[in-house]
Chain A
Amino acid sequence: MVALLPSTGAKAQVSPQKRSRTGYFLLLPGMTWLAIFFAIPFVTLFLTSLQAPVAGESGQYVPAFQVSNYPDALMEYWPQFLKSFIYAGIATALALLIAYPLAYFIAFKAGRWRALMLVLVIAPSFASFLLRTYAWKTILADEGFITSFFNALHLLPDDRILNTSIAVIAGLTYNFLPFMILPLYAALEKVDPRLIEASNDLYASAFTTFRKVTWPLSLPGVVAGTLLTFIPATGDYINAELLGSTQDRMIGNIIQTNFIEFRDYPTASALSFVLMAVILVLVFTYIRRAGTEDLV
Chain B
Amino acid sequence: MSASRGRNVEDLNLRNLTKKFGDVAAVDDLTLTVPAGSFFALLGASGCGKTTTLRMVAGLEEPTSGTIAIGDQDITRLRAFQRPVNTVFQSYALFPHLDIFENVAFGLRRRKVKNVDQKVNAMLELVELGPMARRKPSQLSGGQQQRVAVARALINEPDVLLLDEPLGALDLKLRRQMQIELKRIQMEVGTTFVHVTHDQEEAMTMADTVAVMNKGRIEQMGHPADIYELPQTVFVANFLGQSNLFAGSRTGQSGEVIMVDSHGMKFSVLASRNSAMSDEIIIGIRPEKIVVRDLVDQDAVPAGHNALEGRVTDVSYTGVSTQYVVETLWGQDVTVFEQNVIVGDRCDVGDPVILHWSPEHTFGLAGGETLLHKTAQVLAAGV
**Could you list which residues of chain A lie within 8 angstroms of chain B, going by C-beta atoms?**
192, 194-195, 197-205, 208, 212-213, 216-217, 294-296
Contacts and interface: CB of A to CB of B under 8 A. Distances in A.
B156 interface: yes
Given A194-B89, A198-B87, A203 B95 contact: no
13 contacts: A194-B93, A195-B93, A197-B89, A197-B93, A202-B81, A202-B86, A202-B152, A203-B82, A203-B110, A203-B156, A213-B95, A213-B97, A296-B97
B19 to A, nearest CB: 16
Interface in B11-66: 58-60
B104 to A, nearest CB: 10
A293 to B, nearest CB: 10
Nearest to B61: A197
A203 to B, nearest CB: 4
Contacts of A197: 60, 80, 87, 89, 93
B373 interface: no
A296 B80 contact: no
Contact of A202 (B96, B97, B110, B136): B110
Interface of B: 58-60, 79-82, 85-87, 89, 91, 93-97, 106-107, 110-111, 136, 152-153, 156
B97 A216 contact: yes
Nearest to B91: A194
A204 B81 CA distance: 6
B111 A198 contact: no
A192 B79 CA distance: 20
Given A198-B89, A202-B86, 5 more contacts: A198-B95, A201-B153, A202-B81, A203-B111, A216-B97
Contacts of A217: 96-97
Contacts of A194: 89, 91, 93
Nearest to A203: B110
A204 B93 contact: no
Contact of B96 (A204, A205, A212, A296): A296
Contacts of A295: 97
Contacts of A296: 96-97, 136
Could you tell me the dominant secondary structure of chain A's interface residues?
Answer: helix
Nearest to A294: B97
A204 B110 contact: yes
A233 to B, nearest CB: 29
The 8 closest A-B pairs by CB, nearest first: A198-B93, A203-B110, A202-B107, A200-B80, A194-B93, A201-B87, A216-B97, A203-B81
A217 B98 CA distance: 10
Given A217-B96, A296-B97, A201 B81 contact: yes
Nearest to B152: A202
Nearest to B158: A201
B321 to A, nearest CB: 41
A217 B94 CA distance: 12
A194 B93 CA distance: 6
B106 A199 contact: yes
A197 B81 CA distance: 9
A201 B95 contact: no
A296 B137 CA distance: 11
Contacts of A212: 106
B107 to A, nearest CB: 4
Contacts of A208: 110
Contacts of A199: 95, 106
A209 B328 CA distance: 62
B38 to A, nearest CB: 21
Nearest to A197: B60
With most chain B CB atoms within 10 A of its CB, the pick from A202, A216, A294 is: A202
Nearest to A202: B107
B60 A202 contact: no
A198 to B, nearest CB: 4
A192 B97 CA distance: 12
Contacts of A203: 81-82, 107, 110-111, 156
A202 B156 contact: yes
B106 to A, nearest CB: 5
Contacts of B80: 197, 200-201
B59 A202 contact: no
Contacts of B91: 192, 194
A4 B356 CA distance: 71
B118 to A, nearest CB: 19
A95 B94 CA distance: 31
Nearest to A216: B97
A101 B206 CA distance: 45
Contacts of B93: 192, 194-195, 197-198
B250 to A, nearest CB: 51
B60 A201 contact: yes
A201 B152 CA distance: 11
A195 B107 contact: no
B95 A195 contact: yes
Contacts of B82: 203
B60 A200 contact: yes
A198 B152 CA distance: 10
Nearest to A295: B97
Nearest to A198: B93
Contacts of A195: 93, 95-96
A194 B60 CA distance: 10
A10 to B, nearest CB: 21
With most chain B CB atoms within 10 A of its CB, the pick from A199, A203, A213, A216 is: A203
A203 B5 CA distance: 14
Contacts of B95: 195, 198-199, 213
Contact of B79 (A198, A200, A202): A200
B56 to A, nearest CB: 13
A194 B55 CA distance: 12
Contacts of B156: 202-203
A201 B97 contact: no
